[in-house]
Amino acid sequence: MVVDLHAFVRDLSQLAGLQGKRDIQAAAAVFPHQPFPALGSAAALGDDAALLPAVAGPLLLACEGLQPELVAEDPWFAGWSAVLVNLSDIAAMGGRPLALVNSLWSQGSGPAEALLAGMRFACDKFAIPMVGGHTNLQSPYTALSVAVLGMAPGPVLSARSARAGDVCCLLVNISGHFHRHYPFWDAATGAAPELLRSHLELLVQLAGAGLCHGAKDISMGGLVGTAVMLAEASGCELELNLEAITPPPGVELQAWLSCFPSYGYLLVVDPARLEALAATVAPHRDLRCEPIGRFAAGPASVQISQAGATASLWQIGAALTGF
């Protein structure tokens, strides 16, 4: 079939699937193109998948989607948070992050610029590369999801490992402040990169030394929501003692129990390891590590105690996540 070649090629050049690839330039202008120089040109960004260095340990994979309200109202912080929460998920398993990818939909280039800038800031702070993803600047809405790949160099910290008699400890960074009007305790955006990286590495050290054998990152459900997920996964009853939980100065207890801290974990600890755990965390002056509860034989539930009284936060037999 003979065609008008110039018109035919002009039509091909305007195909939406082709022109849409221009949106990738927004990410290409933000993130470094060669995250692993030792692997050569094949590891440069732009291929169909990212080439990563080989690792000698189990792999960890996590993903987080950002709340639409945060993406719309504070896109830079949403981009920052998208990276932070993924790195926290890997640390909670006793792992080290290797690389991140993102999926970004935006109503034009404006919102995307702030989201990308927030992600780049976090990647630089923690020295973890963003190695690929998906970018659409022609979307009717703005949304962001980020995923991370990591590895466990030693014992894996699992929420399912709690046993009756274990202690629940709160490991948290209290040197922060609430971000604007959100229930987000920010102890990271203004902190030195070396400090943040050492805090994440601490979970690997605790796992390797056997100072805790389970952990869960405190997520958007706050300390109490995370406690329910921990009890559900382990199949244990978890009793939390309000008198053992000390909020930072000027912060109300309920706000502290329900906020998302930028660095906060519930640890599962053998009582015999509490003293060694405290000694290991002590050099990290911004961190507080305190026993706040105890696990008992199931079924899974969460009880809250104070001054000799106990109330049920989550009932026996009820499901939260279904896992």
Same domain, residue pair 149 and 165: no
Same domain, residue pair 106 and 231: no
Same domain, residue pair 310 and 163: yes
Same domain, residue pair 287 and 184: yes
pLDDT level of residue 188 (50, 70, 90 thresholds): very high
pLDDT of residue 3: 81
Spatial distance between the Cα atoms of 297 and 300, rounded to a whole number of angstroms = 8
Same domain, residue pair 190 and 245: yes
Question: Has residue 7 been placed in a domain?
Answer: no
Spatial distance between the Cα atoms of 276 and 270, rounded to a whole number of angstroms = 11
Question: Has residue 164 been placed in a domain?
Answer: yes
Lowest mean pLDDT of 7-11, 221-225, 316-320, name the range: 316-320
pLDDT of residue 187: 96
Same domain, residue pair 84 and 149: yes
What are the residues whose beta carbons fall under 8 Å from the beta carbon of 302, sequence distance 6 or more?
224, 227, 228, 231, 237, 238, 239, 240, 312, 313, 314
Q: What is the mean pLDDT of the chain?
A: 95
| Phi, then psi, of 139 in degrees rounded to 5 | -80, 150
Question: Has residue 52 been placed in a domain?
Answer: no
Mean pLDDT of 166-172: 98
Spatial distance between the Cα atoms of 50 and 40, rounded to a whole number of angstroms = 12
Mean pLDDT of 259-278: 97
pLDDT of residue 182: 93
Structure tokens at 298: 């199931």
pLDDT level of residue 316 (50, 70, 90 thresholds): low
Spatial distance between the Cα atoms of 105 and 114, rounded to a whole number of angstroms = 13
Question: Has residue 290 been placed in a domain?
Answer: yes
Side chain identity, residue 294: R
Range of 239's domain? 159-314
Spatial distance between the Cα atoms of 63 and 85, rounded to a whole number of angstroms = 9
CATH at residue 191: 3.90.650.10
Mean pLDDT of 10-33: 94
pLDDT of residue 321: 86
Mean pLDDT of 22-45: 95
Mean pLDDT of 223-229: 95
Same domain, residue pair 148 and 171: no
Domain count, the chain: 2
Beta bridge partners of 240: 293, 304
pLDDT at 232 over 90: yes
Question: Has residue 43 been placed in a domain?
Answer: no
Answer whether 0.85 is exceeded by the pTM: yes
pLDDT level of residue 109 (50, 70, 90 thresholds): very high
Q: Is 158 exposed, middle or buried (0-12, 13-18, 19+ CB in 10 A)?
A: middle
Same domain, residue pair 192 and 304: yes
pLDDT of residue 322: 86
Same domain, residue pair 204 and 126: no
Same domain, residue pair 291 and 170: yes
Question: Has residue 29 been placed in a domain?
Answer: no
Question: Has residue 113 been placed in a domain?
Answer: yes
Cα atoms in the 13 Å half-sphere on the side-chain side of 212: 33
Portion of the chain with pLDDT greater than 70, in percent: 99
Question: Has residue 12 been placed in a domain?
Answer: no
Same domain, residue pair 144 and 167: no
Mean pLDDT of 243-254: 95
pLDDT at 195 over 70: yes
pLDDT in tens, 37-76: 999 999 999 999 999 999 999 999 999 999 999 999 999 9
Mean pLDDT of 141-167: 97
Last residue of a domain, one of 93, 124, 153: 153
Last residue of a domain, one of 98, 133, 153: 153
Same domain, residue pair 169 and 135: no
pLDDT level of residue 174 (50, 70, 90 thresholds): very high
Instruction: Give CA angle at 38 (32, 44), nearest 5°.
Output: 40
- Return the HEC string of 189-205: CCCCHHHHHHHHHHHHH
Nearest to 231 by CA among 302, 320, 318, 312: 302
Last residue of a domain, one of 153, 174, 194: 153
Nearest to 166 by CA among 216, 204, 219: 216
Residue 42: CB atoms within 10 Å: 8
pLDDT at 98 over 90: yes
